[in-house]
A = this chain, B = another copy of it.
Amino acid sequence: MDVRRNVEEAMRTHCEFWGFEEVETPTFEHLELFTLKSGEEIVDEIYAFKDKSERELALRPEITASVMRFFGEELRARSKPLKLYYFSNCFRYEQPQKGRYREFWQFGTETIGGDSVKTSAETIALACSILSSLGLEFDVHIGHLGVVRGVLESEGVVGGDQDRLMSLIDKGDVDEISGFLDGLSVSSECKELVFELIGLVGDGREVVSQASGVLESYGFDEVGGAGLVELESTLGYLESYGNFDYTVDLGIARGLEYYTGTVFEIYIPGLGAQNQVCGGGEYSIPQLMGSDQFSTGFAFGFDRVVEAIEHQGIDLDLKPGLMAYVVPVSDEFRDEAVGVLGRMRDSFPADIDMTGRGIGDQLSYVDSVGARFAVIIGEREVENGTLSLKDMESGEQVELDVDEAIDKIRREYEVLLN
């Protein structure tokens, strides 16, 4: 659990230092909340059930819908931008496999309101800053849905057809995309252009100029260009957050209809099929939010981030374990032993025998649990006001004043902490 807690702590501190506040929403909600956001298809992947009043409930498959509902019901009057973060478990009904679990944790943010360029840049910068602070190597891909959506719009591909196509682009199956475009009888230029655009992937802002050129060459610059301009401004802002590499990728589609503007995904090299640890972007869900506010957010697949840390062999400065194990030589020194133990437990992890084992067995136990010091209390120690400290690494034993002994262990604990 230690690695998980350290990752959680790093994420929380990051968000709080960036001005976000935590929200917590219920584990189950009305099923409708999730179908409203993600469509009826999601029901197959949801743990849905009826309560004793026959209401249809569901274990949350993700958190954004709940945060948007909460915003619509409780937070609409707050000043904008409203910067929220959450750390919560989610549920998905499917065959568990590596990197995909039936119960999994998401850590994410939602920034409601604000300028879309600035909030998108900050959202991407925050996600990257969190992963960098954990020491992870990762690839961030950034795109803008307005480009392809603008092109489709101008050819009359709108509403459900457009969303369906974006979802096929998200899955990345070329034959399916091609078939679907043919069925819609778009012009052959439009079809070619879509494939050129979603194939545009490369480092830095040059890709934006390439895309711009492609749009122009097909005569679609007026309809797709606004998205590119916004993307370019966002990348400019993003660069002011520090030097990090990113890939512009116009093939990112995010698969859900309420995404509209800048979107991004983060991958961990070498994690296999489940290598995406983060996804996010700008979206609007007026049915839930009670207004057409935009929100920009991301969600980390928390369990995958933890796997990535293990995969990349990163040592997350684990907290020191048991620093002291107090060993009273016999039961008559129990009061003194427990008194010393209590003082130690104010400052560092310490323990005492709970079984009634003999002193030899206790010392073997101290060794087996890897405690740093055995603290022996017998007649001499009680008379002298001392403790005998046995260093379990070096095997050396010294007798020290009680205060001095506790101080020595505390100092060592503080060194191990940092």
> Residues of A with Cβ closer than 8 Å to B?
1, 5, 14, 16-19, 21-24, 26-28, 47, 49-52, 59, 79-81, 83, 89, 91, 93, 103, 111, 113-115, 118-119, 122, 237, 240-242, 319, 322, 334-335, 338-339, 342, 345-351, 353-356, 365, 368-369
Q: Shortest distance in angstroms between A92's beta carbon and chain B's nearest beta carbon? A: 12
| Set of chain B residues within 8 Å of A335, measured between Cβ atoms | 240
Q: Closest chain B residue to A126 by CB distance?
A: B345
**Measured CA separation A23–B334 after assembly (Å):** 30
**Measured CA separation A89–B103 after assembly (Å):** 14
Q: Shortest distance in angstroms between A350's beta carbon and chain B's nearest beta carbon? A: 7
Q: Shortest distance in angstroms between A167's beta carbon and chain B's nearest beta carbon? A: 23
| Set of chain B residues within 8 Å of A115, measured between Cβ atoms | 354-356
**Measured CA separation A122–B103 after assembly (Å):** 34
The reply to whether B26 and A103 form a contact with Cβ atoms under 8 Å apart is yes
The reply to whether B79 and A237 form a contact with Cβ atoms under 8 Å apart is no
| Set of chain B residues within 8 Å of A119, measured between Cβ atoms | 354
**Measured CA separation A346–B335 after assembly (Å):** 46
| Set of chain B residues within 8 Å of A334, measured between Cβ atoms | 237, 240
| Set of chain B residues within 8 Å of A103, measured between Cβ atoms | 26-28
The reply to whether A354 and B118 form a contact with Cβ atoms under 8 Å apart is yes
**Residue among B22, B114, B369 making CB contact with A79, cutoff 8 Å:** B369
The reply to whether A22 and B5 form a contact with Cβ atoms under 8 Å apart is yes
| Set of chain B residues within 8 Å of A89, measured between Cβ atoms | 27
| Set of chain B residues within 8 Å of A81, measured between Cβ atoms | 354-355
| Set of chain B residues within 8 Å of A21, measured between Cβ atoms | 1
Q: Shortest distance in angstroms between A331's beta carbon and chain B's nearest beta carbon? A: 10
**Residue among B1, B23, B241, B345 making CB contact with A17, cutoff 8 Å:** B345
Given A103-B26, A115-B356, A355-B114, A349 contacting B79 (CB threshold 8 A): no
The reply to whether A1 and B27 form a contact with Cβ atoms under 8 Å apart is no
Q: Closest chain B residue to A336 by CB distance?
A: B240
**Residue among B79, B348, B356 making CB contact with A118, cutoff 8 Å:** B356
Q: Closest chain B residue to A101 by CB distance?
A: B26
| Set of chain B residues within 8 Å of A348, measured between Cβ atoms | 17
| Set of chain B residues within 8 Å of A50, measured between Cβ atoms | 49
The reply to whether A1 and B23 form a contact with Cβ atoms under 8 Å apart is yes
| Set of chain B residues within 8 Å of A47, measured between Cβ atoms | 28, 49, 51
Question: 13 pairs across A/B with beta carbons < 8 Å?
Answer: A17-B349, A18-B345, A19-B350, A26-B103, A27-B59, A28-B59, A47-B51, A49-B49, A81-B354, A81-B355, A115-B355, A118-B354, A240-B335
| Set of chain B residues within 8 Å of A345, measured between Cβ atoms | 14, 17-18
The reply to whether B91 and A27 form a contact with Cβ atoms under 8 Å apart is yes
The reply to whether B122 and A354 form a contact with Cβ atoms under 8 Å apart is yes
Q: Closest chain B residue to A354 by CB distance?
A: B114
| Set of chain B residues within 8 Å of A27, measured between Cβ atoms | 27, 59, 89, 91, 103
| Set of chain B residues within 8 Å of A51, measured between Cβ atoms | 47, 93
**A-B residue pairs, 5 tightest by C-beta:** A49-B49, A114-B354, A19-B351, A240-B338, A1-B22
The reply to whether A368 and B79 form a contact with Cβ atoms under 8 Å apart is yes
| Set of chain B residues within 8 Å of A52, measured between Cβ atoms | 93
The reply to whether A16 and B349 form a contact with Cβ atoms under 8 Å apart is yes
Q: Closest chain B residue to A12 by CB distance?
A: B5
Q: Shortest distance in angstroms between A307's beta carbon and chain B's nearest beta carbon? A: 16
The reply to whether B322 and A19 form a contact with Cβ atoms under 8 Å apart is yes
| Set of chain B residues within 8 Å of A356, measured between Cβ atoms | 115, 118
| Set of chain B residues within 8 Å of A242, measured between Cβ atoms | 342
**Measured CA separation A300–B113 after assembly (Å):** 39
